[in-house]
Amino acid sequence: MSARLINALATTGPLAELFSDGCVLQAMLDFEVALARAEARAGVIPQTAADAIASAARPDAFNTAKLAHDTFRAGTPGIPFAKALTEVVRSKDASAAGFVHWGATSQDVADTALVLLLKRAQPILTEDLTRCERSLERLSEQYKETTMLGRTLLQAGPPVTFGLKAAGWLGAIRRGAERLDAAFESALVLQFGGANGTLASLGENGPAVAQALADELGLQLPEAPWHTQRDRLASLVCSCGVLTGSLGKMARDISLLMQKEVAEAAEPGGDGRGGSSSMPHKQNPIACSLALAAAHRIPGLVASFLSTMVQEHERAVGGWQAEWPIVSQIIQATGVATASMAEVAEGISVNPERMRANIEATSGTIFAERAATLLAAKLGRNRAQELVKDAVRKSNKERRHLTEVLAEMPEVASHMDSETLRELEVPEKYLGSADGFRKALLVNRKRSGKKER
């Protein structure tokens, strides 16, 4: 009984697969097999039992629908899963059955399974992030001299370059990716504490088994179990939230640039993207809308996770039980945003002519600040601003260029030579540190290297 349709916009193919019953079950099996091996290595259980468990631990031996139902009844996947695995092992090797899940508690297998899934999620997210970052770097270089309107509160302002804009997106996404990496590194730790977090039933063997188990699974061993200390996971979901916020900002910008009336950029179509059932002429910002949808959903999901952190004593009543859906949805939402904006960054079409035309359409009024600054040096700021405001008003009213209007004002003309006036509305002449900032954002990228990503 799949629920792909209702969640179709909230996940990607690879991540839906990752959190599917088969993968969740496999991750729990991986824990139990590794546990048995670790315990056999430490002499806690017979090697033959470990072998029997390993050979019996096949996903197809389980009825996941029944497991889901029993999980709901038990309030945790660990109990019915361990029972079911015990039965599977028993049917093949009765003596080994008693050693299944030895010394572990239900939360050990559930938490470690989640961590194993997160470990597999990381490269999926990283690959799309890398695609996105590389494309933004390329775009930033390609359009480093392409001027466009700066826009503040959705109003036209002095020019920026599309190269700077792309570098700004890149900077935030790259910082977000670095935080995400760090959070993954910290969160990918084994959970293994037994009934109450002391591994008491393993006596002296606890540390050895724990280390061997971590090694088997390729996870770090934390200082101690963390059944009710969820800060590492919290930090991971927060880093997803911050990154998706930055991806959402990029998506918002591009969806605004795609407006018919602006038309400065467009996300790529193709492969089912962009159409409308009733309006054949439209090119919709579909990928952007999915990233924005993710950015709408994630803040609440992060809040849900943070509110579960207040977990009671050695094992929680309610807080922990809320985590699986939250974490898996956050990872999937982050994946949607990442994949969508990678696709957009790779395929975006940029329209420099239209950017130029939209600047032109302001009749130079966006250079009012520039004019005022130039005049202020001569006339003082107050007088300069008065004059320029008058000029802007006239320019708007008469639909003439600001330069023309200014040139006709004697007080202006006497303090601004004709060359200055001629250059006043040249966007390239009023970019300040745009390219310096752009380069700094890109250099930083290169400095941080991270070739392995």
Of the pair 130, 228, the CB lying nearest a copy of itself is at 228
> What is the x/- site pattern for a copy of itself, positions 47-86, by CB under 8 A?
-----------------xx-xxxxxxxxxxxxxx-x----
Which residues belong to the active site?
A: 276, 315
Which stretch of DSSP H or E encloses residue 84? Answer: helix 78-92
Tokens of 186: 């910290």
Residue 322 touching a copy of itself (CB under 8 A): yes
Q: How far is the CB of 140 from a copy of itself (least distance, A)?
A: 12
Q: How far is the CB of 355 from a copy of itself (least distance, A)?
A: 12
Of the pair 238, 421, the CB lying nearest a copy of itself is at 238
Interface positions, 266-295, toward a copy of itself (CB under 8 A):
271-273, 275-295
Residue 380 touching a copy of itself (CB under 8 A): yes
Which listed range, 19-27, 125-133, 137-145, 412-420, lies at the site for a copy of itself (CB under 8 A)?
Answer: 19-27
Q: Which of 258, 250, 251, 249 is nearest to 282 (CA)?
A: 258
Q: Report CA-CA distances (Å) from 111 to 19, 52, 107, 118, 227.
A: 14, 24, 6, 11, 8
Are the beta carbons of 131 and 342 closer than 8 angstroms?
yes
What is the rounded CA–CA span in Å between residue 416 and residue 378? 9
- Residue 37: partners with Cβ closer than 8 Å, 6 or more residues away: 50, 54, 212, 216
Rg (Cα) of the chain, in Å, rounded?
A: 30
> What is the x/- site pattern for a copy of itself, positions 130-169, by CB under 8 A?
-------------------xxxxxxxxxxxx---xx-xx-
Which listed range, 51-59, 134-142, 307-315, 412-420, lies at the site for a copy of itself (CB under 8 A)?
Answer: 307-315
Residue 426 touching a copy of itself (CB under 8 A): no
Residue 328 touching a copy of itself (CB under 8 A): yes
Residue 437 touching a copy of itself (CB under 8 A): yes
Of the pair 217, 388, the CB lying nearest a copy of itself is at 388
Q: How far is the CB of 452 from a copy of itself (least distance, A)?
A: 22
Q: How many CA atoms lie within 13 A of 226 on its CB side?
A: 19
Interface positions, 174-233, toward a copy of itself (CB under 8 A):
175-176, 179, 186, 194-203, 206-207, 210, 223-226, 228-232
Of the pair 143, 305, the CB lying nearest a copy of itself is at 305
| 307 alpha-carbon distance from chain centroid | 21
Q: How many CA atoms lie within 13 A of 223 on its CB side?
A: 3
> What is the x/- site pattern for a copy of itself, positions 85-124, by CB under 8 A?
----------x-xxx-x-xxxx------------------
Q: What is the DSSP letter of 365?
A: G
**Which of 145, 312, 360, 408 is in the footprint of a copy of itself by CB under 8 A?**
312
Q: Report CA-CA distances (Å) from 326 to 61, 176, 209, 263, 395.
A: 28, 20, 30, 38, 55
Which stretch of DSSP H or E encloses residue 186? Answer: helix 162-187
